[in-house]
Amino acid sequence: MVRTQLQLTETLARKLRRMAKRDKVSMAEVMRRVLETAPEAEPLPDREELKRRALSAIGCADFGAPDIARRHDEYWAEDLADEHLR
């Protein structure tokens, strides 16, 4: 096992203590049980879903400059110079 330290709110700590007492286990065991169910509640997207999301983002932003991909450093330098003059 890996030792982990975390801070809890007073309310959450009380709830965990009650659950541990009720189930006659340690607070650590209660937290392990809760965390074991977390990935099932909200599964991570698979590789294909991540790829679909990334591809859907292409072209969705309008930066006002058609050559931003090639000249981003120049635009950034200009922006810094403009801020310095303000």
Of 60 and 17, which is predicted with more confidence?
A: 17
DSSP 27-75: HHHHHHHHHHHHHHHSPPP-HHHHHHHHHHHTT----S-TTHHHHHHHH
> Would you say residue 69 has pLDDT above 90?
no
This prediction's pTM:
0.47
**In this structure, is residue 42 part of a structural domain?**
yes
**In this structure, is residue 3 part of a structural domain?**
no
d(CA 76, CA 1): 47
d(CA 37, CA 40): 5
Total domains present in the chain? 1
Q: Mean pLDDT score of the chain, rounded to an integer?
A: 89
**In this structure, is residue 19 part of a structural domain?**
yes
Range of the domain at 29: 10-85
> Would you say residue 44 has pLDDT above 90?
no
**In this structure, is residue 40 part of a structural domain?**
yes
The sign of the torsion formed by the CA atoms of 71, 74, 80, 85 equals negative
